[in-house]
Amino acid sequence: MAASSSSSPSSSWTYHVYLSYRIEDTHRGFTSHLYNALKQRGIHSFTKGVAVEKGDDISAKSFFQAIEASQIVLVILSRNYASSRYCLNELVKIMECRRRLAQLVMPIFYKVDSSDVRHLQGTYGEAMKRHELRLESGNDKALRWSEALREIANVTGFHLTTDR
């Protein structure tokens, strides 16, 4: 997947932008429009929706490698983001890369309030309670997920209340 030198990321990054989002919530609307706008401007972006459509390797390992290879990560926190264990594992990896690789991570609060994410209220609180009930005692995944959600909610980002 070679890009021209005028539009390729710096030598240390494979992608300019990685888009993290809940496919069911935003892929056919907001995220696909964002991805296409970035592409039109020559910004090389990774989105799991395109990987799935093209038949690329869709294992968690391949997504985690794409996160590490991205200069900027946009996390689109939508109503059902926290209901996905995959999204939460991805967020833990993103926040780790933010600390370790000094990546720029920007949240987009899409039709959710950042305080609901920060305080695990509303659909975020409900989702975390369901995850905690499903996990075996002694499993610290829910704690890591909660910490990652609180951390991303404290990063300055964008608040979008409509699709416009």
Q: Is residue 113 part of a domain?
A: yes
pLDDT attached to residue 5 = 39
Tens digits of per-residue pLDDT, 12-28? 889 999 999 998 887 67
Q: Count Cβ atoms below 10 Å from residue 4 Cβ, excluding itself.
A: 7
Q: Is residue 1 part of a domain?
A: no
Q: How far apart are alpha carbons 127 and 132 in whole angstroms?
A: 9
Give the H/E segment covering residue 144: helix 141-153
Domain span holding position 72: 15-160
Q: Which two tokens stand for residue 162?
A: 């409509």
Q: Are residues 80 and 26 in contact, defined by beta-carbon separation less than 8 angstroms?
A: no
The total number of structural domains that make up the chain: 1
Q: Is residue 85 part of a domain?
A: yes
Q: CA geometry: angle at 74 spanning 134 and 108, to 5°?
A: 80
Residue positions annotated with a catalytic role? 90
pLDDT attached to residue 49 = 57
Q: Is residue 8 part of a domain?
A: no
Q: Is residue 82 part of a domain?
A: yes
| AA identity, residue 93 | K
The pair phi, psi for residue 111, each rounded to 5°, is 60, 25
Q: Is residue 24 part of a domain?
A: yes
The pair phi, psi for residue 98, each rounded to 5°, is -60, -45
If you count them, how many residues does the chain have?
Answer: 164
Q: What is the CATH number of the domain that holds 92?
A: 3.40.50.10140
- Give the chain's mean pLDDT: 85
Tens digits of per-residue pLDDT, 35-87? 999 999 999 999 875 544 444 555 566 889 999 999 999 999 999 999 999 99
Q: Is residue 9 part of a domain?
A: no
Q: Is residue 30 part of a domain?
A: yes
